[in-house]
Amino acid sequence: SDLQKQEERGELLQPLIFVLLVLCSILLYFKVSLMDPGFVKPEEEVKEDEDKGQGVVIPQIPGDVKLRRCGYCLVKQPMRAKHCQLCQHCVRRYDHHCPWLENCVGERNHPLFIVYLSVQLVVLLWGGHVAWSGLYFEQSREWLQHNVFLLVSFFLIFIFTIVVLLLLVSHLYLISCNTTTWEFMSHHRISYLQHSELENPFDQGIILNLWRFFC
């Protein structure tokens, strides 16, 4: 492959960058999967009551929507929170539960999840190029036996690249609209969206939506 030829010539910069990207992708995976996605904790409700008593300004909920207690963990659910039955917690700004991470994607880890997908996409595209550069085509049975591993690797990389690309594009679109996967898929069942005069009451324009999400 191209990386192998560069390594043999003593040009280690690109192979080193590739290895670092792979390690970065692995570290991001564990970081996103192990961190708190924004679990709603009972002690936060006590702090909120104290803030009200001290006259601290708390954002008001538009319309006739009332905050309700979760029927599973009995905490008062903030706006845009949802209970995840797999994690057994309510998650702030709940997006979805990712089976690949075995964790929810929510308020705290959603930006890092986007970074992880971006790094993963770069690794997959580069890995696909490396696999393709190692192939030389001949119509013989021996060639197929010697290159079957590279062919399978390239096919798997291609499938994963399509999946990650579609996932990244769909998330960036939802972020630009300031909505979540859960809100997008279950718009008709969510009370604060049903009672809103606007189709998406959180949308503040693409630039401001992206700025508030990432910054």
Catalytic residue among 24, 73, 87, 98: 98
Backbone phi and psi for residue 158, each to the nearest 5 degrees, phi listed first: -60, -45
Which amino acid belongs to residue 38? G
**Catalytic (active site) residue 215:** no
Which amino acid belongs to residue 181? T
> What ranges make up the beta strands (E) of 85-174?
89-91, 96-98, 103-105
Question: Rounded CA gap, 171 and 165, in Å?
Answer: 10
Cα dihedral 173, 109, 214, 120 in deg (nearest 10): -70
Which amino acid belongs to residue 113? F
Which amino acid belongs to residue 177? C
Catalytic residues: 98
